[in-house]
Amino acid sequence: MKLAQTILIMGLLALSAGIGVRMVNQWQTEQQPQPLPTFSFPDLNGTPHSSTEWKSKIIVLNFWATWCPSCLKEIPAFMTLQTQYGEKVQFVGIALDDLEAVKTFQQKTAVNYPLLISGDWAGFNLAKQLGNLISAIPYTVVVNSAGLVIYRHAGELSARELQAAISPLL
């Protein structure tokens, strides 16, 4: 009997979590556009990069970490889309991780877009400013060429979903 109760409770918790994530994602999609705040984080060589560097392009900001399986799963699709849309779209990975872990990952994967190291809580704080109220990763936002955040997504993002968000902006 205790096993059945435990399974029921686990199932209800999983259902509640799923509903919560879905509600947050819907809220983020419906949220009004907001200006992208200016930020600056260093790349793997320590060179600082500002959000203003890509202001004439559509920007896809992806908050991720090397210890996050969902984050790692979506990166190959992002690399493909970066190649496909490179003239008009700039992907930027903001690693909520330490420098050495990201360097090791980059050596193995050769990500074709900038990877910035946010360190400490600066990346989580920026993601929160951009609507990530539950501090989920991966967390992805799309910024139009006018500098407005027009799309937000908590959790793993498929290439098809991202293309649907980007295509109207091209």
Residues 27-67: pLDDT tens digits?
444 468 999 999 999 999 999 999 999 988 999 999 999 99
Asked if pLDDT for residue 8 goes beyond 70, the answer is: no
pTM: 0.81
Mean pLDDT computed over 81-93: 95
The length of the chain, given as a count of residues: 170
Task: Please state, in angstroms and rounded to a whole number, the distance separating the CA atoms of residues 57 and 49.
Answer: 15
Are residues 106 and 116 in contact, defined by beta-carbon separation less than 8 angstroms? no
Whether 49 and 65 share a structural domain = yes
Whether 25 and 109 share a structural domain = no
Whether 20 and 79 share a structural domain = no
Task: Please state, in angstroms and rounded to a whole number, the distance separating the CA atoms of residues 48 and 119.
Answer: 13
Q: 26 is in which domain, residue-wise?
A: 1-30
Whether 92 and 70 share a structural domain = yes
What pLDDT was estimated at residue 162? 96
Domain count, the chain: 2
Task: Please state, in angstroms and rounded to a whole number, the distance separating the CA atoms of residues 63 and 100.
Answer: 17
Whether 57 and 18 share a structural domain = no
Residue 65 main-chain phi, psi, to 5 deg: -150, 155
